[in-house]
């Protein structure tokens, strides 16, 4: 079985891109009153499977490990956090702001073969790596048959 990704806003992405293109063509931008991009920020993830586990890598540049919240509840893995706007330069001095800021949430429905109590996380150079071990009974077993 594979991990099922739950993305409640997935159907709105093409609409969001088209509206964004419309405003960018007129160079109005689509920024809020404070000059920050008001689109939602969604970290990108890669998920792959090994014999013993699933591995999820999420890009979270600019965040510290303390700013990332990982929760498993009712067979759903949820990543939450907030990427804050850096106030090193006054907002009025910016010509263009393209990096996304704000809160994010990503949720993944775990398959029944994942052992949620054994999930391990590491964070290095802006990439969160979650190892989701499979339950022992879900791992492939090799049985040797002796032939006489």
Confidence check: pLDDT of 68 > 90: yes
Q: What is the pLDDT of residues 94-124, one digit of tens each?
A: 677 777 788 899 999 999 999 999 999 999 9
Element (DSSP H or E) covering residue 4: strand 4-6
d(CA 35, CA 54): 40
Span 138-148, mean pLDDT? Answer: 72
User: What are the structure tokens assigned to 85, written together?
Assistant: 């706007």
* Residue 121 falls inside a structural domain: yes
Other beta carbons within 10 angstroms of residue 30's beta carbon come to 14
Query: Is residue 63, in this structure, part of any structural domain at all?
Result: yes
Q: What are phi and psi of 28, to 5 degrees?
A: -85, -25
Q: What is the CATH number of the domain that holds 40?
A: 2.60.40.790
State the first-to-last Cα distance of the chain, in angstroms, to the nearest integer: 37
3-class DSSP assignment, residue 23: helix
Mean per-residue pLDDT over the chain, rounded: 78
How sure is the predictor about 30, in pLDDT bands with cuts at 50, 70 and 90?
A: very low
Q: Is 141 a member of any domain?
A: no
Question: Residue 145 falls within a domain, yes or no?
Answer: no
Residues 116-134 as b/e (b if ≥16 CB within 10 A, e otherwise) read eeebeeebeeeebebebbb
Which of 62, 56, 65 has the alpha carbon at shortest distance from 120? 56
| Domain enclosing residue 102, as ranges | 4-136
Domain count for the chain: 1
Give domain status of residue 147, yes or no.
no
Asked if residue 144 is part of any domain, the answer here is: no
- The continuous run of DSSP H or E covering 15 comes out as helix 13-25
Q: Which of 5-19, 26-40, 79-93, 118-132 has the lowest mean pLDDT?
A: 26-40
Looking at the domain assignment, is residue 52 inside a domain?
yes
User: Is 22 part of a structural domain of the chain?
Assistant: yes
């Amino acid at each position: 079985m594979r991990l099922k990704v739950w993305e409640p806003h997935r159907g709105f992405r093409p609409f969001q891109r088209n509206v964004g293109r419309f405003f960018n063509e007129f160079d109005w931008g689509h920024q809020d009153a404070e000059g920050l991009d008001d689109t939602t920020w969604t970290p990108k993830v890669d998920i792959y499977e090994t014999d013993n586990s699933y591995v999820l890598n999420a890009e979270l540049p600019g965040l510290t490990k303390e700013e990332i919240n990982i929760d498993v509840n009712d067979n759903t893995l949820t990543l939450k956090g907030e990427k804050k706007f850096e106030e090193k330069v006054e907002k009025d001095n910016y010509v263009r702001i393209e990096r996304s800021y704000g809160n994010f949430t990503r949720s993944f429905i775990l398959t029944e073969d994942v052992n949620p109590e054994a999930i391990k996380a590491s964070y290095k150079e802006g990439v969160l790596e979650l190892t989701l071990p499979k339950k022992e009974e879900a791992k492939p077993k090799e049985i040797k048959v002796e032939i006489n």
